Amino acid sequence: MWLNRKLIAGGLMIGSIVLIGLIGRLAWDTDLARVASSPLNLPPFWVEGGTLDHPLGTENSGRDMLALIVTGAPATLRVGLIVGLVSTGLGILLGFTGGYLGGWPDYVIRILSDTALTIPSLAILIVISSYVREIDVTTMALIVALFAWAGPTRVIRAQVLTLREQGYVRMARISGLSTFDIMFKEMMPNLLPYLAASFVGSASGGILAAVGLEALGLGPQRIPTLGMTIYYALEGSAILRGMWWWWGAPTLILVIVFIGFFLVTIGLDEIANPRLRGGEA
């Protein structure tokens, strides 16, 4: 069941980006990602004027594009990892609490999550980011996670509402198991595919929100990320100047990341739902 083609393909795409960060740091000098460390405005090596010393070219601040990719791709993935962990963790805690206990805890959690979903999160994230004096990757991820927990909470709560009426849950109550054991030892293992899909979706959404903020110039200034590289390309009029390698390389990496996350999510959905993979319900 876990040998799902979409899941494997998506995992390989995400894994390739991770390997760029791991192997790239060993094979390439990441100090070239610093300003004025390389000649200005060099094209990739296969274009006239390019050189193998800077195979993906350089930008107008004298930074090597390959070094920017090697350092920026893992930083962008780390934002998604932190957002996914925080939002899914809160979603598990709140979703299980509200869905299983019901009553006033469920009412409060439902009101909070519904309110968070109706708030224009991007506008508020822009305001918050503009007031934070110094932003690093972790701070950026935590800012994005402020509004990323509501979706997982709603999804997990809905699944828990269904599971709590199952026979094995009733038998666990009759057997005298504690509420904690029933929620997290009996019910939670049956939701692992849904939780994994929720984590992947939150990570993908977190990266998208972070790139949106970074494209506005509200991201980390000291640590290269893919979003900030695109921002500097826009600020430097890379499109008008024909410097396609400046914005093209980080955009391609982001496309691979999002397609990989999408395939992983679809694969996990097929694992959790037999109908989607052509099996019997």
CATH of the domain at 191: 1.10.3720.10
Q: What is the pLDDT of residues 176-185, one digit of tens each?
A: 888 888 888 8
Nearest-CA neighbor of 227 among 68, 54, 63? 68
Q: Domain for residue 98, yes or no? A: yes
Q: What is the pLDDT of residue 93?
A: 92
CB atoms within 10 A of CB 110: 16
Determine the 3-state secondary structure of 58 from DSSP. strand
Measured between alpha carbons, how far is 83 from 86 in angstroms, rounded to an integer?
Answer: 5
Environment class of 133 (CB within 10 Å of its CB; exposed 0-12, middle 13-18, buried 19+): exposed
pLDDT band of residue 258 (cuts 50, 70, 90) is: very high
Is residue 132 over pLDDT 80? no
Report the predicted TM-score, pTM, of the whole model to 2 decimal places.
Answer: 0.86
Asked whether the beta carbons of 276 and 265 are under 8 A apart, the reply is no
Q: Domain for residue 256, yes or no? A: yes
Q: Domain for residue 222, yes or no? A: yes
Give the residue numbers spanning the domain of 251. Answer: 74-277
Identify the weakest region by mean pLDDT among 13-22, 60-69, 127-136, 231-240: 127-136
Q: Domain for residue 82, yes or no? A: yes
Beta bridge partners of 64: 58
- Please give the tally of structural domains in the chain: 1
pLDDT band of residue 84 (cuts 50, 70, 90) is: very high
Q: What is the pLDDT of residues 178-206, one digit of tens each?
A: 888 888 888 888 888 888 888 988 999 88
